[in-house]
Amino acid sequence: MFWFGNSQFPMKESFQQAIRYAIVEEGYRLIDTASIYDNEHFIGQTLQELFSEGIVKQEDLFIVTKLSWKEVFKVEEALQESLEKLQ
């Protein structure tokens, strides 16, 4: 299994292209992100496109996200926000 870690990309389009390339061309199946990277919504959008195109199934991917130190006292709320952003 390949692992696609990400933190900060300068542009939304290049970030989404990188996710798409990693999954489609290189076979990555694990995406590692964090709420503090402020990119979960871009990941969610890209994954929804790939799902709707039939390129990959949701159950074939693993998504790891992490809490920031500010979120440790509101875990449920932070998790719900991440899930919504990741769709």
pLDDT for the residue numbered 15:
84
Q: Is the pLDDT of residue 3 over 70?
A: no
Of 39 and 57, the structure prediction assigns the larger pLDDT to 57
Catalytic residue check, 21: no
Q: How many domains does the chain have?
A: 1
Domain containing 26 equals 2-86
**68 vs 7, which has greater pLDDT?**
68
This prediction's pTM: 0.84
Give CA separation, 73 vs 1, 7, 32, 38, in Å: 33, 23, 22, 19
How many Å apart are CA 3 and CA 29, to the nearest integer? 7
- CA 16 – CA 28 distance, rounded (Å): 14
pLDDT cut 70: percent of the chain above it: 87
Q: What is the rounded CA–CA span in Å between residue 81 and residue 69?
A: 15
Q: Of 15, 28, 37, 42, which residue is the catalytic one?
A: 37
Query: Quick check: 7 pLDDT over 80?
Result: no
